[in-house]
Amino acid sequence: MIRVGNLDESIRFYTETLGMQLLRRKEYPDGKFTLAFVGYRGEADNTVIELTHNWDTGHYDLGTGFGHLAIEVDDVYKACDDIRNRGGKIIREAGPMNAGTTIIAFVEDPDGYQIELLGSKS
């Protein structure tokens, strides 16, 4: 789960820029928050991201304990091109990881969270 300042902007990033699906969204008026779940496939058999929007909070400082999310992709170079073409922010271009050969890249979501694109191990 990550807390987001602008839920619609975050959903747009994860669905339109990263190609995930909005799986469900529910408002909790008594608690003044909304939960949205995004992922590449349904929650029953796959990992998804819970986006939490507290209605009275428009911005969060990134925590020092959180590193990044990681998503495996077939072709990191192509994924970067696709994300860039959809308006996404690439913060580390595709290339071999430090001290290794796995191809990685990093993108940033609207709230500043980093998402690592990790080359598949096929």
* Catalytic residue annotation: 116
Phi, psi angles (nearest 5°) of residue 103: -80, 130
How many Cα atoms are found within 13 Å in the side-chain-facing hemisphere of 56? 5
Report the C-alpha gap between 27 and 14 in whole angstroms: 19
CB contact at 8 A, 53 and 3: yes
Is 35 in a helix, a strand, or coil?
strand
**Reading across the β-sheet that carries 2-3, which strands appear in turn?**
2-3, 49-54, 33-39, 21-28
